[in-house]
Structure 1
Amino acid sequence: MNAGIRRWLVLLAGALLLGILMLSPFAWQRWVDTRYAPAIYTVDEAPAARVAIVLGARVYNSGRLSAMLRDRVDTAVELYKAGKVDKLLVSGDNSSSDYDEPGAMMAHAIERGVAPEDIQPDYGGRRTYDSCYRAKAIFQVDEAIVVTQAFHLPRALFLCESLGLRVSGVSADQRTYDPRSIAWSETREVPALVAALFDVIRRAPPPVLGDPIPIQ
């Protein structure tokens, strides 16, 4: 085999490998989306579970919830009022003293009529992985409805199920969101799903843990 043909074959093999590496994350996303699509419901269709895990998102400096987070909490309140869940586990970031997603989520749910004793804040839910891990390890949840937007649900369900929970999901899409925000969120899901797979395999980085707080 002459040098020119060998060089061409090496380049071809490299291009094929690069193509596989580029397409693999999208194939993984497609598999996860397909795998968990049957487990995603509306509020009316959702099977009952004792706990709804409400995943955090941005809270503004004023304490006002972002549109997506407000819709997540409102959807969880609908589940609660419909008798689909007994408790809300509001899980979000509280990594600094001046930023408190769970506190803002809890306040909003109480304003919407949820009894304070039926809400459990999780102040260590910095990431979706952490929220799922802590739901099982700290709050001793075995079965739950996960509440977040449709683009986020397949990854959230994959993580929670991989960490030992029996879960279904309810989409919190209650409005048409800013197209730029949705485009960014959907694009971000591809690398986030790859990272989620590695997190599950390595069980790392470890979430913030503590003493068990069983949801009664």
Structure 2
Amino acid sequence: MVLPWVGGAIALVLLTSLLLSLSVMYATRARRFKTLGSVPPRPVAIVFGAGVWEDGTPSPMLADRVLAGVALYQQGNVQQLLMSGDNQTPDYNEVDPMIQLARASGVPERAIWGDRLGLSTYETCRRARDEYGICEAILVSQRYHLPRAVYIAQRLGLDVVGYGVPDWGVYRHRSMLSYSLREFMALGKAIAQTWGDS
């Protein structure tokens, strides 16, 4: 008798997560852009961290995010880049490699900020607002992550649009399945985190 209840509970959780995901995707659709030329200008681009290799170089996903931010700067869409990532331990540092790649790609040091406490999507957006005084921004991330990022930023009162770096067909299929599943499950947490925080 227990198993049907367990199965029903799991099905309810999955259905709720699916509805939340569809709701967030629909609510943010007009603020997410797939081509650089279509992104409206904002003062700042917020580039989210995405992991580095053991030798400290950016992962392909992180490098693509940074280079997209660089392209927005070079096109004149933004005047500043905020590189936000994890740098909580001496052995792990996302932010410095992001800054180094942006500088090597032609962005002057004065146009780059580094937030070393961007430990999550929520923290990056909250700190952009509270610590850096950002009110308007372009969010830069892969397309699978962008709906949640835009949703969180809007709930925190930021006027944001997002540029979605291509992902499916670019990175390994198995990796994208894992990232997308994690993103699917993270939406509930995002809604809980931002409830009443706008």
Q: What's the TM-score once normalised by structure 2's chain length?
A: 0.92
Per-residue CA shift, 1:141-161, capped at 9, x if unaligned?
000000000000000001111
> Per the alignment, do residues 16 and 89 of structure 1 end up closer, same or farther by CA in structure 2, a change over 3 Å counting?
same
What CA distance in whole angstroms lies between the structure 1 residues aligned with 2:115 and 2:83? Answer: 6
Query: Which range moves more in the overlay, 13-22 or 88-97?
Result: 13-22
Structure 1 pair 16–58 and aligned structure 2 pair: CA distance change class (3 A):
closer
Matches within 5 A, 1:204-215: none
Measured at CA, do residues 15 and 173 of structure 1 come closer, stay the same or move farther in structure 2, by a change above 3 Å?
A: closer
Hey, what does 1:182 align to over in structure 2? 176
CA distance, structure 2, for counterparts of residue 13 and residue 183 of structure 1: 28
Q: State the 1:16 CA deviation.
A: 5.9
State the alpha-carbon separation in 2 of the partners of residues 102 and 198 from structure 1. Answer: 27
Match of 2:59 in 1: 66
The equivalent position to 1:134 in structure 2, one of 117, 127, 130, is 127
Is 1:80 matched up with 2:73?
A: yes
Residues 202 and 39 (structure 1), Cα distance of their counterparts in 2 relative to 1, 3 Å cut = closer
The question of 1:196 aligning with 2:159 is answered: no
How far apart are residue 40 of structure 1 and its match?
Answer: 1.1
Q: More deviation in 37-46 or 166-175? A: 166-175
Cα distance between partner residues in 2 of 1:13 and 1:59: 42
**Greater Cα shift, 37-46 or 109-118:** 37-46
Instruction: Kindly indicate whether residue 44 of structure 2 is the aligned counterpart of residue 24 of structure 1.
Output: no
1:21 is displaced (CA, Å) by 3.2
Indicate the residue corresponding to 2:144 in structure 1.
Answer: 151
- State the AA in 1 paired with 2:100: A
From the superposition, tell whether residues 22 and 121 of structure 1 become closer, same or farther in structure 2 (CA, over 3 Å): same
Pick one of 17, 22, 30 that aligns with 1:38.
30
Q: Which secondary structure state, in structure 2, belongs to the residue aligned with residue 44 of structure 1?
A: helix
Structure-1 separation of matches of 2:127 and 2:36: 24
Kindly tell me the number of residue pairs found equivalent between the two proteins.
195
Report the residue type matching 2:12 in the other structure: I
Secondary structure at the counterpart of residue 42 of structure 2: coil
Stretch of structure 1 that moved more, 142-151 or 12-21: 12-21
Gaps of 5+ in 1: 1-6, 204-216
Question: Aligned-pair distance for 1:118?
Answer: 0.1
Matched, 1:162 2:155: yes
Give 1 or 2 for the bigger CA radius of gyration. 1
Per the alignment, do residues 14 and 173 of structure 1 end up closer, same or farther by CA in structure 2, a change over 3 Å counting? Answer: closer
After superposition, the Cα gap between the structure-2 partners of 1:98 and 1:18, relative to the gap in structure 1 and judged at 3 Å, is closer
Which one-letter code corresponds to 2:83 in the other structure?
V
Letter in 1 for 2:177: A
Structure 2 unmatched runs, 5+: none
Query: Could you tell which deviates more after superposition, 145-154 or 11-20?
Result: 11-20
In structure 2, the residue corresponding to 1:53 is in which secondary structure?
strand
State how far apart, in whole Å, the 2-side matches of 1:141 and 1:179 are.
Answer: 35
Note the C-alpha offset of 1:106. Answer: 0.3
Deviation digits for residues 120-179 of structure 1, max 9, x if unmatched?
000000000000000000000000000000000000001111111110000122771111
